[in-house]
Amino acid sequence: MNAYLRTRIEKYITRYAPSRKRLFEYIWKFHLSSLDGIEYDEWIMLRIWIKSYLALGKDRRYVEMKLLIKWFVKSDIVWALTEFDEVFSDWNNFEGVLSQKIQSMVRLWKSKQRILFDLWAKYPHFKNEIQTLINDGEDDVWNLQKEFQKIQWRYNMNDRNDKNRCIASLQRKWFRYSDIVSLFSD
């Protein structure tokens, strides 16, 4: 292997942190079948990816899925993720990310129930903490009013069937029936 190919492969490794399978696919382009003295440790690459996803606040299932897409071996992924179990269950690592997600979902006029359901599915370890973060936030009525303003042009509120369709539409967006009825009574 000449020096040019060697440096090109080393740059590929440092830039992309590939799996062994992805790396051998890359070197196959150069009609090579082995690394010939280039140091490569798939375990290190796997840990690099896990740490980068943890820094982004991603949950365990998301990390596992992304690593499978990057062609890492499933058994190696599971083994590496067990090393990070404490990190995935530590609230301090996810508090900032989850509060930002809640704020962005509130800005998109999502109901509190919808936010709870979405975040509980991704972060089952933090159900109580997510509940307190959401309860500390704004009331759901403002989001309901904004959502109603967005969809009210579709419905004739004087017609009973259209009014029921509007109520059903708001319920599908996880707003409470009692809040919806109080909106219409005002």
pLDDT in tens, 123-154: 888 888 888 888 765 667 778 888 888 888 88
Q: Given pLDDT bands bounded at 50, 70 and 90, which one contains residue 156?
A: confident
What does the DSSP assignment read for 166-184? Answer: HHHHHHHTT--HHHHHHHH
pTM of the model: 0.63
Give yes or no for residue 76 having a pLDDT over 90: yes
With 0-12 / 13-18 / 19 or more C-beta atoms within 10 angstroms meaning exposed / middle / buried, residue 118 is middle
Closest Cα to residue 53, out of 41, 40, 71, 65?
65
**CA dist., res. 75 & res. 102, Å (int):** 34
Helix extents (H) in the chain = 3-16, 20-28, 42-55, 60-69, 74-83, 85-88, 91-107, 112-122, 127-135, 140-151, 160-172, 177-185
Give yes or no for residue 18 having a pLDDT over 60: yes
Q: What is the mean pLDDT of residues 21-39?
A: 87
Secondary structure class of 156 (helix, strand, coil): coil
| Lowest-pLDDT range of 41-45, 139-143, 167-171 | 139-143
Q: What is the mean pLDDT of residues 48-73?
A: 91
